[in-house]
């Protein structure tokens, strides 16, 4: 099946510079980008062309770190830091996902907002509840967008209502791995990911078992790392024999190479950075959450210089907005504040932040997040006519202006893997 979208096409091949194809044809074959042309080649003369005129066509947004059951909490609770915030706000809300009706109502609302925000792939933490996690997977499967969903594992240091036992955690995780293993093998849009909440929430025994499950079922892993100084100190107390936080995950086999995401990575030491590089871990940079919870600023320029993989995460509800352009803008702002505060590491450019939001994070889902030939075609059509502009703005400037001052209402069409979602 061949389709073609016509308009002003912008995407990232490298972080440094946006690729811009004015008034061009994006040819999609079986969901993949076949090529971009100034004039439609003869062989495609009969294919269906959707002409978007002067609109912008850009890749779908990639959110590599978000918590679905925290959706109702976005925008509250930011007068405390991570550990009291988890206890006071997060655990009580997540414990409500034991109730399947409650879970269905709010997971539908969550996925609806995700889709309408232009996010075409996301790495999602569910709660620790098995039934509710299956519901979320089903709702995602119906949505038309893709990504990974994981049941959270947490068998220590939680509230009595939310904490699970080691046995339940293992059994339910294995049940999900069995039930959804075909989704991962067949490259379905929605797949399963192992999700130990973070080291303080999971006993050594459970981490060890999850490491075995990751290997046996070839599952990816997502968790949190070096987000907050009190958290880092707590991990040291819990595991005095392991030299660093990152090495706890590594020790228990929870950093499978090329298929691990670690959110935040703010307070990593040099040794941990080498470990992340060794396992080719994707860093989920969540600047809005890091502002709200006063966690710190991740040294993203350093990670880029070191050639590490980085994507952006909204981290709802540490972050208060799931509209990814807000995180893109915040990534630029955070890098500027880092630069001013530390007098090192150049700030990120708009182009670099846009790259992280699209091709950078997209890497975790395969060839996703760009319009180079062979990439899965996740695309957004942006109508920016209601955004006041001076004459003769370049297409790059129009894109930057949309990202900074536009909203989800400017997204008039959404495609995921070549299929229309909205
Ligand atoms: N660390 C452990 N759990 C969480 C969570 O839900 N959100 C954030 N931001 N950090 C965490
Ligand atoms: Fe998080």
User: Torsion over CA of 168, 81, 361 and 7, rounded to 10 degrees?
Assistant: 120
Tell how far the Cα of 86 is from the centroid of ligand 1, in angstroms: 7
Which pLDDT tens digit goes with each residue over 219-268?
Answer: 999 999 999 999 999 999 999 999 999 999 999 999 999 999 999 999 99
Mean pLDDT computed over 121-135: 98
Ligand 1 binding pocket includes 67 (Cβ within 6 Å): yes
- Check if 353 has its Cβ closer than 6 Å to any atom of ligand 1: no
Q: Which of 95, 127, 227 to mutate to test the pocket of ligand 1 (most atoms within 8 A of CB)?
A: 227
Q: Which atom of ligand 1 is nearest to the CA of 231?
A: 1
**Tokens, residue 207:** 């981490």
Centre of ligand 1 from the C-alpha of residue 164, in Å? 17
Which of 357-391 are b and which e, b meaning 16 or more Cβ less than 10 Å from the residue's Cβ?
bbbbbbbbbeebbbbeeebbbbbbbbbbeeeeeee
What is the reported pLDDT for 220?
98
Please report the pLDDT score of residue 415 as a whole number: 98
How far, in Å, from the CA of 90 to the mean position of ligand 1? 8
> What is the Å distance from ligand 2's center to 106 Cα?
18
Q: How far is CA 275 from the centre of its chain?
A: 21
Q: How confident is the model at residue 100 (pLDDT cuts 50, 70, 90)?
A: very high
How far apart are the two ends of the chain, measured CA to CA in Å? 19
Residue with CA nearest ligand 1 atom 9: 318
Number of Cβ within a 10 Å radius of residue 256: 18
Looking at the chain, the whole-number percentage of residues with pLDDT higher than 70 is 100
Which among 120, 141, 128, 116 has a CA at the least distance from the CA of 68?
Answer: 128
Under 8 Å between Cβ of 164 and 155: yes
Q: Whose CA is nearest to atom 7 of ligand 1?
A: 318
Distance CA(187)–CA(101), nearest Å, equals 30
Alpha helix locations (H) across 258-394? 270-278, 287-292, 300-305, 324-342, 350-355, 361-362
Question: According to the model, what pLDDT value does residue 278 have?
Answer: 98
| 40-63 mean pLDDT | 96
Contact 32, 375 (CB under 8 A): yes
The CB of 320 under 6 Å from ligand 1? The reply is: no
Take atom 11 of ligand 1 and give the residue whose Cα is closest: 224
State the distance from the centre of ligand 2 to the C-alpha of 394, rounded, in angstroms.
37
Average pLDDT over the chain reads 98
Mean pLDDT for 170-189 is 96
Q: What is the DSSP letter of 409?
A: G
The pLDDT tens digits of the residues spanning 360-381 come to 999 999 999 999 999 999 999 9
224 lines ligand 1 (CB under 6 A): yes
């Amino acid at each position: 099946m061949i389709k073609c979208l016509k308009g002003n096409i912008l995407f990232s091949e490298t972080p440094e510079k946006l690729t811009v194809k004015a008034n061009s044809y994006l040819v999609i074959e079986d969901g993949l980008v076949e090529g971009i042309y100034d004039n439609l080649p003869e062989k495609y003369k009969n294919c269906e062309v959707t002409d978007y005129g002067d609109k912008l066509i850009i890749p779908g947004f990639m959110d590599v770190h978000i918590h679905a059951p925290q959706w109702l909490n976005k925008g509250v609770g930011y007068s405390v830091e991570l550990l009291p915030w988890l206890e006071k706000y997060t655990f009580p809300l997540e414990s409500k996902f034991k109730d399947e009706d409650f879970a269905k109502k709010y997971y539908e609302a969550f996925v609806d907002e995700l889709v309408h925000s232009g996010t075409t792939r996301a790495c999602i933490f569910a709660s620790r509840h098995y039934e509710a996690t299956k519901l979320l997977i089903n709702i995602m499967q119906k949505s038309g967008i893709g990504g990974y969903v994981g049941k959270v594992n947490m068998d220590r240091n939680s509230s009595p209502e939310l904490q699970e036992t080691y046995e339940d955690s293992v059994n339910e995780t294995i049940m999900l791995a069995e039930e959804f293993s075909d989704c991962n093998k067949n490259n379905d849009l929605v797949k399963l990911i192992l999700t130990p909440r973070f080291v303080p929430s999971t006993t050594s025994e459970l981490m060890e078992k999850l490491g075995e499950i990751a290997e046996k079922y070839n599952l990816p892993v997502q968790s949190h790392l070096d987000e907050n100084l009190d958290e880092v100190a707590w991990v040291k107390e819990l595991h005095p024999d392991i030299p660093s936080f990152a090495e706890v995950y590594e020790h228990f086999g929870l950093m499978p190479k090329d298929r691990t995401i670690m959110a935040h990575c703010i307070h990593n030491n040099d040794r941990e950075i080498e470990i992340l590089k060794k396992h080719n871990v994707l860093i989920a940079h969540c600047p809005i959450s890091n502002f709200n919870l006063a966690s710190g600023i991740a040294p993203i320029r350093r990670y880029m210089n070191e050639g590490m993989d980085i994507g952006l995460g909204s981290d709802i509800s540490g972050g208060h907005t799931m509209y990814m352009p807000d995180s893109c803008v915040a990534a630029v702002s955070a890098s500027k504040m880092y630069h001013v505060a530390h007098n090192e590491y150049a700030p990120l450019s708009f182009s670099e932040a846009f790259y992280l939001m699209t091709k950078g994070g997209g890497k975790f889902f395969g060839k996703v997040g760009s319009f180079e030939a062979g990439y899965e075609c996740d695309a957004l059509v942006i109508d920016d006519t209601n955004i006041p502009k001076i004459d003769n703005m370049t297409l790059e400037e129009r894109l930057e202006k949309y990202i900074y001052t536009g909203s989800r209402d400017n997204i008039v069409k959404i495609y995921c893997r070549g299929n229309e979602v909205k």
